[in-house]
């Protein structure tokens, strides 16, 4: 059953906890459809990137493999929403850094500085810079180190779908302030999909941006000694470097 209130965000754990390396367990990928339709997150030991699209969870691995996530796969950090777009525009030549401006340009109450904005960009992309982090080399390895060793590569002229969440600055550390999104190419018969965490992108002429403004934000916490022993003050510079 999908959450009844559209565009609420359900999140487990915090970006700061991930920065500190807490990444062993969380809700399972099989539970995601109970909370929404779209989401992003990471797997146990930060083994690849999660993209939850139209009710289907995908695991994008460092090897380049994109596979349906096992229903048992554990998600130590995840954000999910029952995505029902409220606004839609065609975007041509849109870059990651300009995305939040589009929300603001569309008028008051359409998102921007102080709201969470879940969004989808679908269509053709001129270019994308992607990365796949992990897995952690040892338990507790922090995200800054894992992200520094991530596999990074570029794609040109591809068709696919991106889902992400723009989070306000005041939520840094709980979420990732700014735009955080994951992408995968269209699943075509006989062709392997590609995807990852998006470092940068530029859309081509026929891409569509859809978004909504979140009204409620639900946060779940790990409950164990490890969580209690973390230093959860936001490391703003570290986080923008690791998740930018
Ligand atoms: Zn990511």
The pLDDT mean for the chain works out to: 93
How many other β-carbons are positioned within 10 Å of the β-carbon of residue 204? 17
Rounded to a whole number of angstroms, the distance between the first and last alpha carbons of the chain is 33
- Calculate mean pLDDT across residues 110-121: 91
By three-state DSSP, how is residue 128 classified? Answer: strand
Six-digit token pair at 46?
A: 């930060």
The pLDDT value recorded for residue 3 is 61
Residue 182 domain-assigned?
Answer: yes
How many other β-carbons are positioned within 10 Å of the β-carbon of residue 56? 15
- More confident position, 111 or 85: 85
Residue 94 domain-assigned?
Answer: yes
Distance of CA 93 to the CA centre of its chain: 21
Across the beta sheet with 66-68, what order do the strands follow? Answer: 66-68, 56-60, 49-53, 38-42, 77-81, 9-12, 217-220
Ligand 1 centre to CA of 77 (Å) is: 10
- More confident position, 191 or 115: 115
Distances (CA, A) of 212 to 44, 49, 85, 104, 117: 29, 23, 5, 12, 6
Ligand 1 centre to CA of 91 (Å) is: 22
Torsion-angle region of 85 (φ positive above 0: left; ψ -120 to 50: alpha; else: beta):
beta
Q: For 134, list phi and psi in degrees, rounded to 5.
A: 85, -175
Residue 48 sits in a domain whose CATH number is 3.30.1330.80
Ligand 1 centre to CA of 67 (Å) is: 17
Ligand 1 centre to CA of 179 (Å) is: 10
- Calculate mean pLDDT across residues 226-238: 88
Residue 3 domain-assigned?
Answer: no
Segments forming the whole domain that contains residue 122: 9-243
Ligand 1 centre to CA of 176 (Å) is: 9
Q: Looking at the predicted structure, is the pLDDT value of residue 140 above 80? A: yes
Ligand 1 centre to CA of 224 (Å) is: 25
pLDDT digits (tens, 9 = 90+) for 79-104: 999 999 999 999 999 999 999 999 99
Ligand 1 centre to CA of 164 (Å) is: 9
Ligand 1 centre to CA of 150 (Å) is: 11
- Calculate mean pLDDT across residues 108-132: 93
- Calculate mean pLDDT across residues 184-208: 93
Full-model pTM:
0.95
Residue 97 domain-assigned?
Answer: yes
Six-digit token pair at 229?
A: 């022993």
pLDDT digits (tens, 9 = 90+) for 23-40: 999 999 999 999 999 999
Ligand 1 centre to CA of 126 (Å) is: 20
Number of domains forming the structure of the chain: 1
Q: Looking at the predicted structure, is the pLDDT value of residue 159 above 60? A: yes
Residue 1 domain-assigned?
Answer: no
Place of tokens 């300009």: 98
Q: Looking at the predicted structure, is the pLDDT value of residue 1 above 80? A: no
Ligand 1 centre to CA of 181 (Å) is: 6
Residue 2 domain-assigned?
Answer: no
Ligand 1 centre to CA of 1 (Å) is: 26
How many percent of the chain have pLDDT more than 90? Answer: 83
Q: Looking at the predicted structure, is the pLDDT value of residue 41 above 80? A: yes
The pLDDT value recorded for residue 2 is 58
């Amino acid at each position: 059953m999908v959450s009844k209130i559209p565009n609420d965000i359900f999140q487990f754990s915090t970006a700061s906890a991930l920065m500190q390396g807490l990444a062993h367990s969380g809700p399972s990928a099989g539970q995601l459809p109970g909370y929404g339709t779209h989401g992003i997150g990471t797997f146990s030991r930060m083994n690849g990137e999660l993209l939850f699209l139209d009710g289907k969870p995908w695991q994008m691995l460092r090897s380049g493999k994109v596979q349906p996530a096992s229903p048992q796969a554990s998600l130590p950090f995840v954000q999910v929403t029952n995505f029902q777009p409220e606004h839609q525009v065609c975007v041509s030549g849109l870059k990651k850094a300009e995305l939040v401006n589009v929300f603001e340009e569309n008028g008051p109450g359409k998102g921007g500085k102080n709201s969470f904005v879940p969004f989808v960009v679908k269509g053709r992309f001129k270019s994308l810079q992607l990365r796949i982090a992990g897995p952690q080399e040892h338990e507790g390895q922090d995200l800054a180190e894992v992200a520094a060793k991530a596999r990074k590569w570029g794609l040109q002229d591809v068709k696919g779908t991106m889902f992400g969440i723009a989070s306000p600055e005041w939520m840094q550390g709980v979420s990732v302030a700014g735009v955080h999104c994951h992408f995968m190419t269209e699943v075509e018969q006989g062709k392997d999909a590609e995807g990852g965490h998006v470092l940068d992108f530029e859309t081509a002429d026929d891409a569509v941006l859809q978004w909504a403004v979140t009204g409620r934000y639900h946060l779940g916490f790990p409950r164990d000694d490890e969580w209690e022993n973390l230093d959860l003050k936001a490391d703003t510079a570290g986080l923008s470097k690791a998740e930018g």
